Structure formats: C-alpha cells, structure tokens
A and B are shown apart, each in its own frame.
Chain A
Amino acid sequence: MKGLLKVFLGVLTAIGGFVDIGDLVANAVVGARFGLSLAWVLVAGVVGICLFADMSGRVAAVTGRGTFDLVRERLGPRAGLANLVASTFVTFLTLAAEIGGVALAFELATSVSYLLFVPLVAFLVWFVIWRMPFEKMEQAFGLAGLCLLAFAVALWQLGPDWGELFRQASHPSVPDGEGHPTYWFYAISLFGAAMTPYEVFFFSSGAVEEGWTRKDLKTERLNVYVGFPLGGVLSLAIAATSALVLLPQGIEVDHLDQVALPTVLALGKIGLAVLIVGFVAATFGAALETALSTGYSLAQYLGWQWGKRTAPKDAARFHAVVLVAVVLGAMLVLTTLDPVKVTEYSLVFSAIALPLTYFPILVVANDPEYMAESANGRVVNALATGYLVLLTVVALAAIPLMIATKAGQ
C-alpha cells in the first residue's frame, strides 16, 4: 500500500495532461465524431510522454534539477526565453481554463452558473499551493481523480462489441462526412495534449520537491509507467463511451454534461455523482499542475529558489508568480471566455513549445557529466530521436492545420 501511494506524482501529472477540462471535452468530441479511429494517436502519445517524462524524472532524481533549468542551460538564454514565452503562454491559458473547468463541474452539480464559483475556485487553488504539503496534494487529487475510472466501468456496462471496437481502433480511417484536414487537426490536438510540456515541468520539479535521488529511480519509473498509461486509458474510455452512445445519435459535444451523458446512461445517478467528483478532482489537479508549472519554469529559467519544500518566504518570487498567475487566470475566465475553446487553441500552441522542451531533455539525459551511469540506453535514444523528428513535423503542421480547419469545426 505504501508503495502504491508513491505513484501519485505520476498519476496527478498524467491526469492534468490527459483529462483536464479541454481534454475531457476533446476526447468526447473525438469519440462522437471519429469513433475510435484516432485511438492510435493516444497510444503514440502515451509512449512519447512515457519516454520523455522518464528522462526528465531521471535527470531530476540524479541531478536535482528541474526541466526548465536544463532548457536554459542547453539552449542558451535566447532560445530558452522563446520556449519560456511559448510554454508559459500555453500553461497559463490552460490554468485559466482549468479554473473555469472546476467551476463548470460545480455548475454541473448545482445548476448554479459557473461564473459565481470562479473566485472561490481560484482562491482554493492558490490556498492548496500555499498550504498543502506536496505529497498530500498529489495523493488527494490523484486519488480522487481516479473516480474518472467510472468511464471505464460505464464502457464495460454498455456491453459493446469489443471486437468491433478493436477493429475500429486498429484500422483507422476517416469517417464519412469528415475531411482529412479535420481528422489530422484532431490527431495533432490529441498528440499535443498527451505530450503537453507542462507535464514534464511538473513531473521533474515534483521529483525534486519529493527529494528523489538516484535511489528512487525505481519509484520514478513506476510513476511514469503507471501514471501515463492510466491517463491514456481514461482518455480512451471517454472516447469509446461517446463513440458508442453519442456517435450513432449524431449528438455534438461541446459541454461537460454531454461528456457525462453515456456514463449517466450506463450507471445512472451514482455514475454521475462519481463522475462529478472525478471532474472536480481532475480539473482541480490540472489547475494545481499548471499554476505550479508556471512558477517552476519561470523560476528555473531565472535561477530563483522555487518549490513548496521550503517556506514561502524563502521562495518569495516563486510564490508571487504563482499567486499572480492564479489571479490573472481567474480574471481571464471571468471575461466569460469559454474555457473549453481556450484549451483547444492553446493545445496547438503547445505543439510549438514541444521540440524546444524535449530536445534539451534528450541531450542532458545522454550527458555523462550529469548522468554518469544513468544515461540513456540505445533503444530509448533511437525511440526518442524518432519522437523528436515527429514532434518537429507536428510543430510545423500545427498552425496551418488550425487555420485551414478553423480549429476543427
């Protein structure tokens, strides 16, 4: 049991990356429009994030350095700054969306407009970061986020033709009525969401917060290989339930209640109650992850003291940045900007920050000066190089596709 409690850094990181408010809706949209024909993208995304999160976690455990530290060191101040601006932009927009997302989950539970919850949610996010110990935080929100497994239970209850689902997933084709550009736009969005940079910022910095050393490399690997595949399974379950229920009925998804609809159908009110807990935990967890990541990356780029392991007075600028980010995020949501739309767009920008984040990780994970005998092996290097090429292609294709398809409409 104690060993199991140690994997929640990975679980929380993955929940924030795979099933935050934008992805909850995006996965359901994809299921409702494309069935399981994009499932292969999720698999590719899980493999990719496992590779690079493992490297970033390993570097953090061996050297005690967070990922953005390395970004600045290997790319220099200018390219490092370009990455800082791009990824902070994505992370901040996601933070704003998650604050809205938690509020939307409250709206789903109470039928009171989500805007009324925004200030409360923002305060709670900040308060948890200010006061709650890091490990308690990841365990509480990671564990509660597991309520989203209700999607998997619902899928099983719906009693699908598993052979047919597998055939759809393993023989991807663009469904009638959908264009190729739209298909590829969603492919890139899903891939970008799975590998979104704040996951490695959070995971590596979290490893430092927990004081992992070379001795914890087993725990590190366990976190990666439990957390991220779990995130992938949740995403798949959401897509599959909506492919089974919403696709045949032609229901379009643009709100959280449609995401929940198949589960409510299969599991009734209890299903909905469990899902709402899961929604709140996942979006709140993602808000924590993005708020902290904003602080982590800026502080590491500028060489400030960061993190929750010291008293806030000893990491004053870090806490100031987190506070400002949460306040600005709440203000952005209060302009009634649709949180779901916000993440749809920010996902594509994250594709641009991807190569600039993963390249330095790969370089340092190979550097004997930092890693000694824990450097990358050949197989990991070959795979990671392949992903780096893929990420660059994705980054180049992202913006033209977004413009051509008007963000998948």
Chain B
Amino acid sequence: MRGSDLLGAPVVSRSGAALGRVLDVRLVQDGPLLGAFAAMRVEGLVVGHRRTSARLGYDRVEAHGPWLVATVVRWLARDNRYLPWEQASLEGHRVVSGLDELLRVPFIT
C-alpha cells in the first residue's frame, strides 16, 4: 500500500454516510524496528472536506504564523475530524469508519 492510496480516500460511516476524505495520516514511531529506528506506524486519519485546510497543519500544531493566515486556515479546517486506526477498515479504496461521530483532531505536541 502507498501513502497516496490513503490520502484523498473517501471516508464513510457503516451506514454509508459520507464523512469526508482522508486529509492526512497520523504516524507514531513505535512500530517494529527497521534498522536503527522503530517504524512509523499508522495511528489514525485526519478526515475533512477541504484539502487545502490540512496542508499547513494549523489545525494540529501549536499556533505559529501570522495571525490572519492562522485564523483563516483554522476556520477552513474547523470541520476536520479524527478517526483512530482501530476504528477504521479499508474496503476497496474507501475507508469505513466504525464511529458515526468522528473525534476532534488531537494536537501534536
């Protein structure tokens, strides 16, 4: 599987309601050892409707950047949500969510 198979994939609930698309993939570096480092393991998916909203990450990292830009981008990203990987399953090129209500996007600290 490639990263690009996940990014942009439509996310639906079990009842088939559209929840958005995969905008980003949360990775945690605690997978199996590859060389000197632990592998980056998929932890969850950032899901939303506006591709541009996730690009700058202002919805997930501490505020930095010009106030106006950060405000506008946060506003665009206001509907972005999070789907933990254990609640997600791949069916074809769609992601089916075990949750009907997605979670808030956890900040990266």
Contacts and interface: CB of A to CB of B under 8 A. Distances in A.
Interface of A: 74-76, 79, 359, 362-363, 366-368, 375-376, 381-382, 384-385, 388
Given A362-B69, A375-B64, 8 more contacts: A74-B56, A75-B55, A79-B52, A362-B65, A363-B65, A363-B69, A366-B64, A366-B66
Contacts of B52: 79
Contacts of B69: 359, 362-363, 385, 388
Interface in B51-70: 52, 55-56, 64-69
Contact of A368 (B55, B56, B64, B68): B64
A200 to B, nearest CB: 17
Interface size class of B (residues with CB under 8 A): under 10
Contacts of B68: 385
A366 B55 contact: no
In the A-B complex, list the 6 residue pairs whose CB atoms are closest, starting with the nearest: A366-B65, A381-B66, A385-B66, A385-B68, A366-B64, A368-B64
A363 B67 contact: no
Interface of B: 52, 55-56, 64-69
A384 B65 CA distance: 11
A393 B65 CA distance: 21
By secondary structure, the A interface counts as helix
In this complex, the member of B52, B67, B69 whose beta carbon has the largest number of chain A beta carbons within 10 angstroms is: B69
Nearest to A380: B66
Contacts of B65: 362-363, 366-367, 381
Contacts of A382: 66
Contacts of A381: 65-67
A66 to B, nearest CB: 20
B60 to A, nearest CB: 13
A388 B66 CA distance: 11
B66 A362 contact: yes
A76 B66 contact: no
B49 to A, nearest CB: 16
A74 B64 contact: no
B48 to A, nearest CB: 15
B64 A76 contact: no
